[in-house]
Structure formats: C-alpha cells, structure tokens
Structure 1
C-alpha cells in the first residue's frame, strides 16, 4: 500500500503499538517509510529451500532485514516448519543470531484451501525427524539463541497438539484489508465491519465470540497460542515473555 507510512504514523500518533508482517521482498526499498513501526515480522522459511518456496533470492530479503534492524525496528524472522525445511532450521537460528534479530517458528497448518498435491509436497511426513528438530530448537533456546517462544509452546508444537484453551476470541479482533472484522486470522468468522466501529463490534459479538472460543478445535499459530498461554497465567510463558521484553528493550 502506498499509504502505509500514513497509516503507521496515524496509529503511532494515537499511542498504538504498530507491527507489520511481510515477505520482505520490498523491505529494502521501503524501509525508510517504516519509521513509525515498532515491530516487524519477516517470513523466511529456510535457507537453501527459500528460493524454491518463495521464488525470490534470500539475499534480497536479508538486505531488507538488515536495513530495518539498523533503523532500530524490533525485527523477527518467522519460519513455518514444513517437510521442505527440516534440515535448515538450525542454520536459520544461527542466521537470526548473526543478524541480531529474533526468530519464531510454527508448524505448517493444513488449511482446507491447500490442495492435496501441495500438501503432499510440503507436509511433514517424517515425524521422528520433526520431533528431533523441535528438541534442537529447545536446546538452542536454552543456550541463549534469540528464539522468541516459551518452551511451553515449543513442547506443544513438538507433539502437534494444541494443549491449551484458545483465548484469541477473548482478546483479538482481526481487521482485514477490505474492512471486515473477524474473530481470528486462522478460522476467520465474520464479526462485522470496521464502519460499524471496533467498540460496537466488540460488544455486539461477545456471545458469538464466546461460543466460537468454546467450540474451537484449536491450532498452533504462535501469536494466538502464546497470547492464550499468557491469558491463562502459565508461569513459564509469563517468565519467557518478561525475559523477551527485557531483551527487546536492551
């Protein structure tokens, strides 16, 4: 969007914390427009496999990450773990450490829109290898690598079992680019429209959001999972959040 700097500036003026999720392709070119951005998440799903999966040279994206980092923007590499990149996870963690940015992970979520052909190509098939990969992520976190997650979450993604009560519908509303308001970015139930006002939509959708939350089959999207663990007052997740915030402020 050409008006991205204006949107960020207005949100910053209102005292909001601003964040942006991007594939990073235009990041180097437009980084100077992000002066009002607090938090940047860049999708990097591998090293050797990156170009095959994304169709873009990784170096181009890394240059943008460096530019954002040098501007003082808290930057995170987010990696979706799939059958394509299990051998590259450790290298990616060390790359994040070398760049001086955070890194996060989440397992590939099997959306209904994903064709069986694509799922067969990128899905996780070797569960033994996958579990060893998650164990290594936990080890590297304990060694001080900049992995943003709580170990509670990492243990859940190892078992691929969302062993928590999701509170996304209690604490999140997702506004889409065309103004629709949805309960969460994964299951995407419509709650209203931005023209109706966020406050009005939040109040009028309370009962429906509660019902959705109770019936949700769960997922391992790390944003909702980690927030839900905090909302449920899970001690290790709280301590990890405090340590992470202290690390960001340094």
Structure 2
C-alpha cells in the first residue's frame, strides 16, 4: 500500500497548502512569533538568519513541504533533525538574565500555533472557502506536525475556538522588545539578493510585507505600535482576496514544491 504520509491528498492540510497565498501566512507568522520575548531571543541568539535570510527561508520551506507531502518516514526523519537541533540550543532572556532551552514546550507551542493559524488565516482571506468544521479539521491534523517537534499533541490547540482561547491566554506575556522591533524591521525590509534591492522587486517585497502586517490580529498590531488606519482591514481583505485569486489562476504545476511533485507521482495522481 502506498504511503500517503502524515496527511494525504484528501486532507484539509493538502487543500490549505496547495494555495500559493499560504506563503504570505508564513511571513505573518514570523511577525507574531517575534512578539514572544523568549521566542525572538532564541532566534536572535542561535540563528544566522540575518546573514543568510534566503537560505533560512529555503530550509524552513523544505521542512514544511517535506512534513506535509513526504512519506511518513521522511516526515519523521525531518522531525528528528529539528528536535536534535533544538535540544542543543539555549538562549538568555535579556529581561531577567535567565538561560532557557529552545525546546521549551511553551516556545515550541507558540511557534507551532502562530504558524498554522497564520497559514489558515492567509488562505481563507485569500479566497479559499473553508467551513468552521474544515478549519477545525486543519488544526486537528496539524497536531501531527506538533508531535514531530516534540510537543504532546494533547497540549496543542486543535480547533478554531481553542486557538482563540490560546491567543487570549498568551497576550499578557507578549511584548515588543528590542529584539522584536529589530526583527520586525528586518522582516519588512529584508536584504534582497543579486542587487534586486534597487529594482521594482523592492516595492513588491514591501507590498507583501504590508499585506502580512495587515493580516495580523488587531492586538498584535497594537503591540507593534501601529496606529489603526481607517479602512485598513477592508483594504487588506480586498488586496488579499484579489491576490489570492490571481495566484490561484497560475497552474499549480508551475509553482509547486519538489516535495509535492514527488508526492503526486508517488500516489499516481499525475500522468
């Protein structure tokens, strides 16, 4: 019997991650993650993302697509590598001087929830029609990816309502630190390769960043000190929907990941 992996073509996960607009959700999640003082400190003190942002992006993308579209063994192997990497890392909380582990379940859970919620929010705002039951199913499916990084799935929000409750519970512990602000600026104006920073690509990059910021929940925008703009949410909704529709018109074979191509061939879903 062919191994469909952790999810398979009939899953809500495959429907969500087929959408090109999901990448905007990935950027949105980074803005959210930076608001957790320890999460952002861990990245700042252990990552080379400032020197190699596009390399880190490519590695993260490869991990996500491997987990979604790879075989069960490929997904589990990717998870083992991530767990081993995190197990070796620590960082210092700049506010208290306390050293903490990167694989602290609270941090892993924050990264997981902000990531999957951002993916789901982006594609829904981009025009993918999902019922609440289907959105709940996506969160429930994604507890499998939480397990890969070392989380107990029972401790991970597994429905729309549970994610709302989780964010409400987390907000008192979130704040804009020096690391958060620096990360936010870097995400908004990242260095572009090959001299593209002096071309219209910079404008497109800023547009995508603005869209990701516009998709943030209102409480997150307030933490970043962003003033409410009249009609901003409506404009973001329109822009998201239009861009989502445009991207959906692109044949998926042109932009799909290598992992998805291999999965389609493995499952005999492509001639």
TM-score by length of 2: 0.27
TM-score by length of 1: 0.29
Considering fraction of residues, name the structure with more helix. 2
Considering fraction of residues, name the structure with more strand. 1
Higher relative contact order (Cα pairs below 8 Å, separated by 6+ residues): 2
